[in-house]
A and B are shown apart, each in its own frame.
Chain A
């Protein structure tokens, strides 16, 4: 542990964004992008192994804090970042051939892609709640540029909406952070150490409950906007549908998780300070509302990426609900769901992205018979859809099963809502995906082979987590679930 591996985890994407700002328009840029992302993933793996063997620790002079909860998300983030970069290679070649991506746009896209990865990893590893906010805001800025990269009227509208709504939301989170700082300063004393997570964690039960209540409300609204909880979810479907597909994959797979991670950190403090279940109740309420509302909004979608964006709202709601329930089992289920949702949802977006390129449209009614043109994309989409809808033996089934059984035990009133919502979502998504995959086709072939590896690696991992959770991963989930408490 002599050379801090964290330097590489954070430094590689940052260096990548600088390098790609210079060469991002060249032909090699896509490979460079993959190279940096994979290298970041390797560094993240080393970091995780160190954390698993060495336990939680401070890094780089106390500015960063690595514990089981964030180490797990760092690996997941770096992994999805790397596979999405692999997917983005053929995808962007096709977009360039179609003239949708010009050289300057490719350069912006690649540079921002790496910078986005950097902000996510910074948000996860920082020990400072203030820096967490700064990184989340920076992530918003980079993704706004990514969403608007096509410069079409619709993408500009989506990006503008995204910027304004998330800007306002994240401003509420800043107010919450100020209040948290105020509460902590009364205990820790002045000197700037009051926003450090390690200090907050140490004094969490002495924080003034009145300030913390208001602070949590603001933090929850603020970061909840980025999680995409109903009723502040409006930016999410637009941003997913109008940006390039790799961006949709990382938005769903990474950004939403990291925002939820921020809420979890705040929840730990609030629970200890309040001696009541207020934070959990808020999370359950809004989580459940998101699940139900998103399931019914799903039924009305025509655009494939929009539909799966609503499915992300639904699943983020489910996770928020699970963490709101609290307790070791629900937290475990929430963490497992976070993992499988990231993996499966990004696999779906990979398949949808290739399918939309073949069809030249994202409207589901005009995409037919994928399996005849490209069995790989067709089956990827079909299996992904089945997995995300919670069919056994995929991992989503396991986590949803755990969430619903803990809901039955702890909050029985919520179970019928959950079951109805999952049923509605199943009917509408399956009914739409089935003719897209089978049926007569009018699709054309593309010049570049689609990237099969990311889709099937993700689906394979999702399948594995449904059948068998490796022991070290299991131990790791248990540790993280204990930390969240509840």
Chain B
């Protein structure tokens, strides 16, 4: 049973990574939000499994929190946001998608290499999880760089936080509860602020294209 759960957690990690790649290749904002929700769901299942395997009850609480925040609340906020901003379609990428995917593969290799010495030491159930988590973080980072619109950048930011959360859960059985609550609160407030910001940016620039935000240069 333990071996099976172990495999399952790794599969979920792989799923997380796959979803991160899907996000890079996706140009529809609506699909991006769906992918983000799926990532959240994978996290919830992984957290519950780790909690079950290690018998740490606070992980159930953390899974519940993740579910409420990343599967229900934040996606709902994002849906409302794109409805009101009317930006469902098309996100232009600054780097074309095949190139981004190739860079992404390079990043994954880099992440696994970096995490290798640490993973060998890890006493916890999922050794490869650290590499996966780091790869997810770097891929989300890439997504934030490659996108020219504000909403995908924010989704990249959120997905980066997912990767970090997976690292905390699978590699260390979750952070202390008080820290986790604090992180969740920060993320939620961050999304709210960014949402408000996007309205203001559009009001000022009449577009959500962040290439307008390049007047403050070093001169």
Cα distance A153–B205 when bound, in Å? 7
Q: Which residue in B118, B176, B183, B185 is a CB contact (below 8 Å) of A192?
A: B176
- Give 1 or 0 for each of A314-343: 1 = CB within 8 Å of chain B CB: 000000000000000000000000000000
Q: Are A134 and B216 within 8 A (Cβ)?
A: no
Question: What's the dominant secondary structure at chain A's contact region?
Answer: helix
Q: Are B213 and A182 within 8 A (Cβ)?
A: no
Nearest opposing residue in chain B for A157, CB measure: B213
- Residue B186 lies at the interface, judged by CB distance under 8 Å to chain A: yes
Q: Are A186 and B213 within 8 A (Cβ)?
A: no
Q: Are A175 and B216 within 8 A (Cβ)?
A: no
- Residue B37 lies at the interface, judged by CB distance under 8 Å to chain A: no
Q: Are B200 and A156 within 8 A (Cβ)?
A: yes
Cα distance A148–B176 when bound, in Å? 33
Cα distance A154–B218 when bound, in Å? 14
- Give the total of A residues in contact with B, Cβ under 8 Å: 51
Q: Are A130 and B182 within 8 A (Cβ)?
A: yes
- Chain A residues with Cβ below 8 Å from B155 are none
Q: Are A145 and B183 within 8 A (Cβ)?
A: no
Q: Are B193 and A145 within 8 A (Cβ)?
A: yes
- Chain A residues with Cβ below 8 Å from B175 are 130, 177-178, 181, 195
Cα distance A378–B56 when bound, in Å? 63
Q: Are B144 and A168 within 8 A (Cβ)?
A: yes
A-B contact count (CB 8 A): 131
- Give the total of B residues in contact with A, Cβ under 8 Å: 50
Cα distance A211–B121 when bound, in Å? 9
Q: Are B157 and A211 within 8 A (Cβ)?
A: no
Q: Taking A171-B160, A178-B167, A211-B118 as contacts, is the C-beta distance between A190 and B173 under 8 angstroms? A: yes
29 inter-chain pairs at a CB distance below 8 angstroms, sorted by A residue, are: A128-B176, A130-B178, A130-B183, A134-B182, A141-B193, A153-B215, A154-B216, A157-B213, A157-B214, A157-B215, A157-B216, A160-B150, A163-B190, A163-B193, A164-B157, A167-B157, A167-B190, A168-B160, A171-B137, A171-B161, A171-B164, A175-B133, A177-B175, A181-B172, A182-B171, A192-B176, A211-B121, A214-B115, A214-B117
* Chain B positions near chain A (C-beta within 8 angstroms): 56, 114-115, 117-118, 121-123, 133-134, 137, 141, 144, 150, 153, 157, 160-161, 164, 167-168, 171-173, 175-179, 182-183, 185-186, 189-190, 193-194, 197, 200-201, 204-205, 210, 212-216, 218-219
